[in-house]
Amino acid sequence: MEKDFTDWHLLKSNLHSQSQAPTFQQREIWWCSIGLNIGYEADGKSELFSRPVLIVRKFNRHIFLGVPLTTKIKQNPYYHCTQFKGREQCVMLAQLRLLEGRRLTRKMGQLPKDQFEGVRGALKAML
């Protein structure tokens, strides 16, 4: 599939010029403009190139470690299944990355503590 990166580059430039990021915390799930990426890296969808991302670790008010979610259920060591708002989803552990808070567009909610600890345990086991 051929990808056209033009629209993503325009949006990325607009995100970069924003003055500040929204306030976010660990365990929260946000729609996040992760972009149009290369190869097997997870892409965002829609005109905002976004997908749900779990905030795994907040470093400061600007940056965090985030991991994207998918509704495609896979049983392998690089995916960890969880429930969020009554829907089964998988955290794509291998797609863990450092992200800037200005990419966050809309808060979806917060993952329960027990499920969040399960995700953290799966990440530690993978690393």
Question: Domains in the chain and their CATH numbers?
Answer: 6-126 (2.30.30.110)
Q: In this predicted model, what pLDDT tens digit does every residue of 50-88 receive, in sequence order? A: 999 999 999 999 999 999 999 999 888 999 999 998 899
The H or E element that residue 4 is part of is none
The confidence score (pLDDT) of residue 52 equals: 96
Strand, coil or helix: what is 100?
Answer: strand
Mean pLDDT in the chain? 91
The confidence score (pLDDT) of residue 1 equals: 65
Instruction: Return d(Cα 76, Cα 122) in angstroms, integer.
Output: 11
Q: Model-level pTM greater than 0.85?
A: yes
